[in-house]
Structure 1
Amino acid sequence: MPAPAPLHPLHLTLANGLRVTLRHAPRLKRCAAVLRVAAGSHDVPVAWPGLAHFLEHLLFLGTRRFPTNEGLMAYVQRHGGLVNASTRERTTEFFFELPVATFSGGLERLADMLTHPRLALEDQLREREVLHAEFIAWSQDTQAQQQVALLQGLAADHPLRGFHAGNRDSLPVEREAFQQALRDFHMHFYQSGQMTLSLAGPQSLQALENLAQQFSEHLTSGPLHPQSAPMALMQGQARSYQHIADNHLHHVITGDAPREALDFLCTWLNASAPGGLLAELKARQLASALQASVLYHFAGQAVLDIDFTLSTQDEAVTQVEALLHDWLSFFAHSDWTSLREEFARLAARQQQIQGALALARHDCQDLSEQDVVALKTLLVSLRLPPSEQRWQLPPNNPFLRSPARDERAGLIRGQTSAHRGLRTFAQDRSRGRREMSALTFSPALADDSDEAALYLQWRAAPSGLETTVQSLRENARQAGVELSFESLGNDSLVRMIGLQEPMPAVLDALVQSLNQPQEVQFAKPATIAIRALLKALPACCGTIDPQPAARGTARWQGLGVGFSAAHEAAIKTAAARLPGQSAKLNQPLPSLSGQRVWHEVKTDSNEAALLLFCPTPSPALADEAAWRLLGHLLQAPFYQRLRVELQIGYAVFSGIRQINGQTGLLFGVQSPSVSLEGITDHLQHFLKQLPALIECSDDLGNQTLAQQFSAQTLPTAQAAEWLWHAHLAGHPSDYLAHLQSRIQTCTPQALQTAAEQLNDAAGGWRCVANGPRVSVDWQAGD
């Protein structure tokens, strides 16, 4: 199969200096915008560390035209989109994704908040406490502190060695000098010449250009201010150093090479194929993993980190370093022609599958001859000795190439489409062997798209399932398929979402690997408390199957969404060889009915973190519709009350979550200052205010929420996830249409009933927290 044609973006510079990148992709169902300001944490005055990050936060606090409850964050969340921002070393990004019909409203709000921020002192005082809470979490986060330690090998005066997160001490908002610096930073950098806007969507390039032009008219006009060049990355002629921490060896290389060239190098360094560096390290039992990544890139300066997970630290470091140098020497003197072709194929495939937001954030160019020369120069500058090992360049990714199909699906050799209704006895017998009643294919989504999704759930999963998924994950991702594994208590779930063409080959590779499982343990990285609780939540909500599988006997079921007839047939053929018995798995939903159950989960952080999952009182669509509308209505007020007004934590969220087919409202809070008891008190107090919130709402949001369930406008991944849980709950394939209708007609009285059920724990409350239960009102969970 030839490499898919890449999307060629249109680059413009508007009259006021705003640089614009436009990507038209008809396959998209949503639009995305990324606004990049050429100013980051390294551009602030040295007296005020964290000022750039602080300003990013302040911009989301609403404007005179769009107060907080009508600002960008509330608007995007209300319409089921995605929104966030990020302050990097030399850039600050604001990005969101929305349905086409609401996209212009998002751009309007983004322009207004960038141009007219609310900088009232009381707002700054509150937001400073949020940054201070984030700073405390950052200072306790293992990975963050490892990153700080890793950069200690750089020159002491380089800004990468400095503190830029911001906290209560570095942000003296009460001082006029700080206020002046804040205003000056905003005026100097937050204007048209300092900005780049990237838009991606299904609209025509002309329509996208019109949106960009309208956006630019609301910005403050100004010129591009060149950012100051940083100090040298390392002193003297040094270009690399080692950093050893725990069981990790970091080999850090600094130099001057284009980002595309470094991405090219990282791709082949990270390859796990036989004959490569990682395969050799594993064979010698020196290291179990390798991850090369670009930590920093600006103004001709680059920092490349090659992270080895060591199997032993006795003599491994010296041997690993020697093998790395040998491989780099081999690579530097190799012919890259085939690798460049494969790299172009990989880049084109990613653009073929990326969603609107990923496309809008995509700022890499094709690998040029100049990039290749620059990379060769960088490798030569390392002064490596000639290679002595017999290395091999990575082979082509097999999932990027479709096997030839000589016959059409559903026909045996010698038949034509005119014979489609005729079958032989042998064909019928073969078909009978492959029939799997537990593997169903939903017609809810049209099969004329390139994308599809496959879910496979095991009970008593075969040995090595997680290891096998991990080993295939990178090749699958490169081919356009997101392959993932999730543990669900007694069950295990494998997802494949993305391009349907490679999926049969990925499934076939999964089948083959499961027949020869390798017991490889993957390191479990430390994570912040609230994320650890989210990972533990499905197991806490697990149930016991009344008909458990016999010891050593795996059973599985599956669902396919969006597959064409040909790919459906190929998936069935591959799935017929999956280990275990194909069988409909019972999914008994736990009935808590008024009970409040508390699950204690240990986490690496001492900060109080809590999840409250409140299932609907029944699986009926009427209940689900009312609770979804209730979740839609309370999302912004919940965030406003606990995060903005009370400031009890920096991780504050709410929304509908589906777990093993069970729908419920999920609330999450992590706080550095409030106890678990205090968090539960705040949650219960908020929930008691819901009847009044419903009563005073002029618009409950029925139509806004209902529009998010249209199969024609839903991204495949999101639609597939909803359909999978509907399948587990026993709903028919037209679930989305019925749910949409129920939401549209949901009455205020039905919403009041849902609020009462929620407060009464009619479907039960399940709390997952990193501490013991706060009172006897909660019963201890398993």
Structure 2
Amino acid sequence: MPAPNPPHASRLTCNNGLALIVRHEPRLKHSAAYLRVAAGSHDVPAAWPGLAHFLEHLLFLGTDRFPPAQGLMAYVQQQGGHINARTSERHTDFFFELPPAAFEGGLERLCDMLAHPRMNTADQLREREVLHAEFIAWVREPTTQHERRLFQPLNPAHPLRAFHAGNRYSLPVPRAAFQQALKDFHEQYYQTGQMTLTLVGPQSLEELITLAERHSAPLTCGEPVRQCSPPPLSVTGKQRYQHVDGRRLNLMLAMEHLPVASDQALAFLCHWINADKPGGLVAQLRQLHLIDTLNARVVYLFDGQALLDIALTTPADSAPHSQQIIDAFDGWLAFFSARQPWPALREEFRLLHQRQQQVSSALALARIEGQQCASHLSDQGVQALRAILTQIQPVAPTTCQHDWQLPTPNPFLTSEKEPVNAGLIRGQTSAHRGLRTFAQDRLRSRRDRSAMTFSAAMPTDSDEAALRLRWHFATAHEPAFLSQVQHSLQTLKQDAHHAGVELSLNAQGNDWLLNMRGVQEPMPTILEHVLRSLDAPVQHQAQGSPEAPLMPIRHLLKRLPERCQAQALPAINDLQQGWASARWDGLAVGLATRTQTLIAAILNKAPGIPDTDLSPAAAPMRTRQWHTEPCASSEHAVLLFCPAPTADIADEAAWRLLAHLAQQPFYQRLRVELQLGYAVFSGLRQFNGRTGLLFGVQSPHAATTEIFEQIRQFIEQLPTLVSTLDETSFIQARASLAQQFSTEALSMADARDLLWHAKQAGHSSDYLKALYTALMALEPSTTLNAAQRINQPYCDWLCLATSSETETFNRGRS
């Protein structure tokens, strides 16, 4: 087997003892930081469950140097970046992504907040209530309840069995003992001996190292701390158990005393268990109508211990067939084990990780390096996998007999030897060349009126590209039609993902949207396979996997695009009849000339009728609309969408700047000060050619009346927010926002989405330049006028909420 590629990242130690990983990627348009603290919820004293998660929250509440309005979260939001944090069992991770010009400011704030948190009592009490609200929502989630039951057979002394979420009662903020424990935990673990900082970006290695040395200086120096080893996962020594819950079946595999490189081995094993290929475990069980879905994942890995979950959903109650399914799994394990050392599978595993990293974002690459994710299976990993397979296979060999096969190679991981031949239709070979058919005549006539737009707004000389196809149906479909097609795409979607192309097909009102993003080389071949599946989906009678109810705010977000579309159409029950009248158009960005030619030829076979002037399906607004969307949760949520009055690019620019200015104050007011809920956000959204401000809140205690009223009051204050900005702050905010829409800053996916909106809104092909110009031309008076207009009765408001309309919704409406 060929040796794996040399590592892209450099590992070193800063002067203060901080472990540093730096990776220079010239193709990136953003930079990312990923800081891992080797301490998590299982390292907290038993008396204070939730302390680690609580501390993670407190660190974002500002420092003396950077108060909340200037802290990391506000800074990243103002620069159009991404930020988050996560507390796990044995790690706490902080990560963000920013434009390179703003990256140093983010790193400076990250290190400062970790080194010098204020943690005053008033802040702690407010944040504890936020954490308590998160806890209530978490404990009510069906997935949480299911996972808690999965851990019940484990050793009661193991921390996986304990409570770690934290709430109002486990975090006694006023008690001196708790404050001392909080201080001790921060001092013990939030020091350089327990931290690893990963920096990824287009900057040189020398520049990244200099930034790390400069801004990590405030961190407390320290030595590595040995995290306590957990007790055995099982007190009985049993290494497997199963949990049956209706249509869900979980086979849990516990492992102890694992060797080095077990993380590689487990990632490799899970990948091939999950492979949906003929002759594999998933395909065989599905062919026998025993399962709908299967997902193998590592739910715990630390200090030589691992817990592997083989989660399955079944067409009916899983109990009668559980043993048959487990026997098949054991039979596949025996087959897979006998094929070691898996040379072909190891090579494909390496290639797919290499391909995916070609188009990974800065943040994704920082996470890969920071978590030291497996990118191949080394010889040491092979030895670890042998040890794992020895542990998890049953002592008695299974009697289950299946015609197992190793997965066929991914067809999209290798280059096409010959381009797709557009002159032949399905079923023809080169022997038919010269024979004309009516079908080919139709293809030739369609070629002259292709509805695919190949945008020149983004460079075409990179590995990455993105495209979107839309089919607009003259009739509504049975939901089963989309489900049928999505099922047909499952294996294709998996192969495409492994080849570096993200593929999705979703419905939005009366439209079907096909999205592709990633490495452009395999895109033509993938698209050809997709079109075949659309035209003739494989019949599938399974009920589908049971869907857990969405949390209220996600339920509303899912419904919002449909509410922005036109009224429902008459339904049909024949997919081919639907295709006969469907019209399609599309947009692609970043495609090289050769790839454009291939894509254009393949689209001659697309179902439906190409339409170069397919109008958007936006529903006319009726000034103010309220839609009640009930859900099963006891919590309430509100979404308020406030579209710009016209599609004019000047109005769009003003609405964008309003959204940019409002994002941090809205979060500060409703989440931090009022503690209205834990899911609080605002921003700009675009649907079917309409641009608008979107405000969202989910609350465990407030009714929709109160939530809406607080959102309304905030919107009333937008003119004050704009008018109190000094000239320098306004210019900085405007420039920061405008820079986010330069081709140097935009990702392919973001450019595709923006240009798609421009196409629907009727803007010209130079939309990105026009938007940048319009943003830079904004004056405080123009922005103030927009803030005033959004409050006028004639300004459209679309509200989705989990309960009925409030009395104040139409206040002021003429």
TM-score under structure 1 length normalisation: 0.94
The one-letter code matched in structure 2 to 1:103 is F
Q: What are the within-5 Å matches in structure 2 for residues 272-311 of structure 1? A: 272-311=276-315
Q: What are the within-5 Å matches in structure 2 for residues 516-555 of structure 1? A: 516-520=536-540, 522-523=544-545, 524-544=547-567, 553-555=581-583
Match of 1:474 in 2: 494
Deviation, 1:135, is: 0.4
The one-letter code matched in structure 2 to 1:533 is L
Match of 2:251 in 1: 251
Deviation, 1:488, is: 1.0
TM-superposition CA deviations, 1:329-371 (whole Å, max 9, x none): 1111113111111111111112112110010010224321121
Task: Determine if the alignment matches structure 1 residue 729 to structure 2 residue 761.
Answer: yes
Match of 2:224 in 1: 224
Tell me how far apart the structure 1 counterparts of residues 699 and 414 of structure 2 sit (CA, whole Å): 49
Q: Which of 553, 556, 566 in structure 1 is aligned with 2:584?
A: 556
Q: Which of 465, 473, 494 in structure 2 is aligned with 1:452?
A: 465
Tell me how far apart the structure 1 counterparts of residues 653 and 396 of structure 2 sit (CA, whole Å): 64
Q: Which of 379, 382, 396 in structure 2 is aligned with 1:369?
A: 379
The 3-state SS of whatever aligns with 2:581 is coil
Match of 1:422 in 2: none
Q: For residues 164 and 368 of structure 1, do their structure 2 counterparts lie closer, same or farther at Cα, with a shift above 3 Å needed?
A: same
Tell me how far apart the structure 1 counterparts of residues 693 and 444 of structure 2 sit (CA, whole Å): 43
Q: For residues 165 and 546 of structure 1, do their structure 2 counterparts lie closer, same or farther at Cα, with a shift above 3 Å needed?
A: closer
Task: Determine if the alignment matches structure 1 residue 404 to structure 2 residue 417.
Answer: yes
Deviation, 1:598, is: 1.0
Q: Which of 297, 321, 346 in structure 2 is aligned with 1:316?
A: 321
Query: Comparing 454-463 with 337-346, which one deviates more in the overlay?
Result: 454-463
Tell me how far apart the structure 2 counterparts of residues 260 and 6 of structure 1 sit (CA, whole Å): 17
Task: Determine if the alignment matches structure 1 residue 592 to structure 2 residue 621.
Answer: yes
Query: Is the contact made by 1:538 and 1:659 (CA closer than 8 Å) also made in structure 2?
Result: yes
The one-letter code matched in structure 2 to 1:152 is Q
The one-letter code matched in structure 1 to 2:465 is A
Deviation, 1:773, is: 1.7
Q: For residues 149 and 434 of structure 1, do their structure 2 counterparts lie closer, same or farther at Cα, with a shift above 3 Å needed?
A: same
Q: What are the within-5 Å matches in structure 2 for residues 183-262 of structure 1? A: 183-255=183-255, 256=258, 258-262=262-266
Query: Is the contact made by 1:615 and 1:664 (CA closer than 8 Å) also made in structure 2?
Result: yes
Q: For residues 6 and 721 of structure 1, do their structure 2 counterparts lie closer, same or farther at Cα, with a shift above 3 Å needed?
A: farther
Match of 2:397 in 1: 385
Q: For residues 189 and 652 of structure 1, do their structure 2 counterparts lie closer, same or farther at Cα, with a shift above 3 Å needed?
A: same
Match of 1:333 in 2: 338
Q: Which of 599, 618, 629 in structure 1 is aligned with 2:657?
A: 629
Match of 1:83 in 2: 83
Tell me how far apart the structure 1 counterparts of residues 243 and 793 of structure 2 sit (CA, whole Å): 52
Query: Is the contact made by 2:443 and 2:604 (CA closer than 8 Å) also made in structure 1?
Result: no
The one-letter code matched in structure 1 to 2:515 is R
Deviation, 1:149, is: 1.1
Tell me how far apart the structure 2 counterparts of residues 163 and 582 of structure 1 sit (CA, whole Å): 57
Match of 2:354 in 1: 348
Q: What are the within-5 Å matches in structure 2 for residues 592-631 of structure 1? A: 592=621, 595-631=623-659
Deviation, 1:15, is: 2.5
Q: For residues 590 and 498 of structure 1, do their structure 2 counterparts lie closer, same or farther at Cα, with a shift above 3 Å needed?
A: same
Match of 1:34 in 2: 34
The one-letter code matched in structure 2 to 1:267 is H
Match of 1:424 in 2: none
Deviation, 1:49, is: 0.3
Deviation, 1:778, is: 5.4
The one-letter code matched in structure 1 to 2:196 is T
Task: Determine if the alignment matches structure 1 residue 512 to structure 2 residue 532.
Answer: yes
Tell me how far apart the structure 2 counterparts of residues 114 and 48 of structure 1 sit (CA, whole Å): 21
Q: For residues 534 and 545 of structure 1, do their structure 2 counterparts lie closer, same or farther at Cα, with a shift above 3 Å needed?
A: closer
Query: Is the contact made by 2:135 and 2:165 (CA closer than 8 Å) also made in structure 1?
Result: yes
| Number of residue pairs matched by the alignment | 762
Task: Determine if the alignment matches structure 1 residue 765 to structure 2 residue 797.
Answer: yes
Q: For residues 573 and 713 of structure 1, do their structure 2 counterparts lie closer, same or farther at Cα, with a shift above 3 Å needed?
A: same
Q: CA RMSD in A?
A: 2.3
The one-letter code matched in structure 1 to 2:320 is E
Q: For residues 297 and 4 of structure 1, do their structure 2 counterparts lie closer, same or farther at Cα, with a shift above 3 Å needed?
A: closer
The 3-state SS of whatever aligns with 2:790 is helix
Q: For residues 356 and 384 of structure 1, do their structure 2 counterparts lie closer, same or farther at Cα, with a shift above 3 Å needed?
A: farther
Query: Comparing 360-369 with 729-738, which one deviates more in the overlay?
Result: 360-369
Deviation, 1:4, is: 10
Tell me how far apart the structure 2 counterparts of residues 6 and 542 of structure 1 sit (CA, whole Å): 50
Query: Is the contact made by 1:469 and 1:483 (CA closer than 8 Å) also made in structure 2?
Result: no
Match of 2:433 in 1: none
The one-letter code matched in structure 2 to 1:385 is P
Identity %: 50
Tell me how far apart the structure 1 counterparts of residues 116 and 420 of structure 2 sit (CA, whole Å): 63
Tell me how far apart the structure 2 counterparts of residues 429 and 139 of structure 1 sit (CA, whole Å): 58
The 3-state SS of whatever aligns with 1:203 is coil
The 3-state SS of whatever aligns with 2:8 is coil
The 3-state SS of whatever aligns with 2:521 is coil
Query: Comparing 435-444 with 35-44, which one deviates more in the overlay?
Result: 435-444
Deviation, 1:407, is: 10
Task: Determine if the alignment matches structure 1 residue 106 to structure 2 residue 106.
Answer: yes
Query: Is the contact made by 2:422 and 2:601 (CA closer than 8 Å) also made in structure 1?
Result: no
Q: For residues 122 and 513 of structure 1, do their structure 2 counterparts lie closer, same or farther at Cα, with a shift above 3 Å needed?
A: same
The one-letter code matched in structure 2 to 1:360 is A
Match of 2:436 in 1: none
TM-superposition CA deviations, 1:263-322 (whole Å, max 9, x none): 101111001111011111111111111000010111111111000111233521111011
Deviation, 1:13, is: 1.5
Query: Comparing 523-532 with 206-215, which one deviates more in the overlay?
Result: 523-532
Query: Comparing 693-702 with 665-674, which one deviates more in the overlay?
Result: 693-702
Deviation, 1:543, is: 1.3
Query: Comparing 706-715 with 668-677, which one deviates more in the overlay?
Result: 706-715
Deviation, 1:776, is: 7.9
Query: Comparing 120-129 with 350-359, which one deviates more in the overlay?
Result: 350-359
Q: For residues 49 and 768 of structure 1, do their structure 2 counterparts lie closer, same or farther at Cα, with a shift above 3 Å needed?
A: same
Q: Which of 521, 542, 548 in structure 2 is aligned with 1:501?
A: 521
Match of 1:420 in 2: none
Query: Is the contact made by 2:298 and 2:308 (CA closer than 8 Å) also made in structure 1?
Result: yes
TM-superposition CA deviations, 1:428-453 (whole Å, max 9, x none): 99765423432111111111111111
Query: Is the contact made by 1:3 and 1:348 (CA closer than 8 Å) also made in structure 2?
Result: no
Deviation, 1:3, is: 11
Q: What are the within-5 Å matches in structure 2 for residues 17-166 of structure 1? A: 17-166=17-166
Q: What are the within-5 Å matches in structure 2 for residues 409-488 of structure 1? A: 432-460=445-473, 464-488=484-508
The 3-state SS of whatever aligns with 2:740 is helix
Tell me how far apart the structure 2 counterparts of residues 548 and 705 of structure 1 sit (CA, whole Å): 43
TM-superposition CA deviations, 1:234-266 (whole Å, max 9, x none): 123211110112311100111136111101011
The one-letter code matched in structure 2 to 1:349 is R
Deviation, 1:458, is: 1.1
TM-superposition CA deviations, 1:517-542 (whole Å, max 9, x none): 13445433332111111111101111
Tell me how far apart the structure 2 counterparts of residues 544 and 447 of structure 1 sit (CA, whole Å): 39
Q: For residues 234 and 775 of structure 1, do their structure 2 counterparts lie closer, same or farther at Cα, with a shift above 3 Å needed?
A: same
Tell me how far apart the structure 2 counterparts of residues 357 and 633 of structure 1 sit (CA, whole Å): 25
Query: Is the contact made by 1:409 and 1:566 (CA closer than 8 Å) also made in structure 2?
Result: no
Tell me how far apart the structure 2 counterparts of residues 465 and 729 of structure 1 sit (CA, whole Å): 29
Query: Is the contact made by 1:6 and 1:352 (CA closer than 8 Å) also made in structure 2?
Result: no
